[in-house]
Amino acid sequence: MAVTTPSTAEDRSRPGRPRRHRSAGPLFVAPFLVLFLLLFLAPLGYAAYLSLFQTRLIGGTVFVGLDNYAQALGDSQFLHGVGRVALFFVVQVPVMLLLALLFALALDSGLLRLSRVIRLGIFVPYAVPSVVAALMWGYLYGPDFGPFAQLSRNLDLPAPHFLSEGWMLGSLANIVTWEFVGYNMIILYAALRTVPHELYEAAAMDGAGAWRIAWSIKLPALRPALLLTLLFSVIGSFQLFNEPNLLMKIAPDVISSSYTANLYAYSLAFTGQQVNYAATVSFLLGLVIVIASYGVLLTANRRRTP
C-alpha cells in the first residue's frame, strides 16, 4: 500500500503492533466510494440544481427558484400518475407479498411433494426480463391471437378486454405479480430456513398445531425479511415504467405518456425536451418514494415496540 494516512496519537500509543493495515481500510472502500459520489450523489445534486431553472424561448435558461415544484404540485398529469402508482402499490403489493408468504410457508412445511420443482418453477419468472414478460403477457391479453380471446370466441363468450381502460391497471399488476412473487418467496423461504428447528419441536411439545406454529413462531421470525420485501416493493411500484411503456405500444389509447409518474418524467425529458421540468418530476418522485419507505419503516418499528 503506497499511500499512508497520517498516523494518529492513538496509533503511536500502542507500540508493537503492525500499524500498516490501519491505513488500508479507506483504500478498500475508496473505489466504491468514488464511483458512488460520481454516479449517485452527483446526478442527484445535478437534478436538484436543474430543477431550479427553466428554459424559455425568450431569455434562455433562467433561475426560477421553486417555480417548477409549484408547477408540478399543481400538475394534474403528474398527480394522476402518482395517484395511479399509489393505487397500484396499495392493491398489488399486498396480494404479491401474501402469495409469496403462503408459498414460502407451504414449501417450508415439508408437506409438499415435488417441492424442488415447484420452488424453481415459481422463481423462474424472475429471470425473465421485464421487457419479455410485458411482451408475452401483452400478446396473451391481446384480442387477436391471445389464447384467452381465442377460448372465449370458441365458447361464444364475449372476449375479455384485458387491455381496456378499466382492466389495464389490473393487467399490469398481474404482470408485476407474475414477475416478482417467486423472488419474494425465495427471500422469505430462505429466512424461514434459518429459524432454529428446536423452536418447532418445543412448540409441538406444548401442543401447538401447524397453524399455531406458523402464526406464533414463523411469522415473527419473518419480520425482517417481510420488511425488506415490502421496502423493495415500495421502491419498485412507484417507479413503474417498463411494463406500461411496452403495453403503451399495444394499447396507445389507454396508456398515455403520463400514465405513471416515471413514464411522465421520461416523456418530459425525451419527447418534450423539458429537461428542467423532467428533473423536477424525477426529484419529486424520488422524494415520494423516500417518504413512503420511511413510512413503512416507522410503522414497522412502532409495532415492534408497542
Partner 1 sequence: MTTTIPAPPVTRTAKKPARLTHRRASPARRSTPLTIAMLAALAYFLLPLFWLLIASTKSTQDLFNSFGLWFSDAPQLLTNTKETFTQDDGVFVRWLLNTVMYAGVSAVGAALLAAAAGYGFAKFRFRGDRAAFNLILGAVMVPTTALAIPTYLLFAQAGLANTPWAIILPSLVNPFGLYLMRVYAADSVPDSILEAARIDGAGEARIFFRIALRLMAPGVVTVLLFTLVATWNNYFLPLIMLNDPDLYPITVGLASWAAQAQNGGAGASSDMLALVVTGSLISIVPLVVAFLMLQRYWQSGLATGGVKQ
- Please report how close the Cβ of residue 248 comes to partner 1 at its closest, in angstroms: 10
- The nearer residue to partner 1, 44 or 70, going by C-beta atoms, is 44
- Please report how close the Cβ of residue 263 comes to partner 1 at its closest, in angstroms: 10
Q: What is the DSSP letter of 162?
A: T
Contact by Cβ (8 Å): 165, 247: no
- The nearer residue to partner 1, 1 or 205, going by C-beta atoms, is 1
- The nearer residue to partner 1, 58 or 102, going by C-beta atoms, is 102
- Please report how close the Cβ of residue 165 comes to partner 1 at its closest, in angstroms: 19
Residues 6 or more apart whose Cβ sits within 8 Å of residue 39: none
- Please report how close the Cβ of residue 125 comes to partner 1 at its closest, in angstroms: 6
Residues in the chain: 306
- Please report how close the Cβ of residue 69 comes to partner 1 at its closest, in angstroms: 14
Q: 109 is written with which cell numbers?
A: 412445511
- The nearer residue to partner 1, 58 or 219, going by C-beta atoms, is 219
- Please report how close the Cβ of residue 57 comes to partner 1 at its closest, in angstroms: 20
Helix (H), strand (E), coil (C) string for 122-152: HHHHHHCCHHHHHHHHHHHHCCCCCHHHHHH
Q: Please report which residue ranges of the chain form alpha helices under DSSP H.
A: 9-12, 24-36, 42-50, 67-73, 76-108, 115-123, 130-141, 147-154, 165-193, 197-205, 210-213, 219-238, 242-250, 261-270, 275-304
Contact by Cβ (8 Å): 181, 99: yes
- The nearer residue to partner 1, 27 or 73, going by C-beta atoms, is 27
- The nearer residue to partner 1, 258 or 262, going by C-beta atoms, is 262
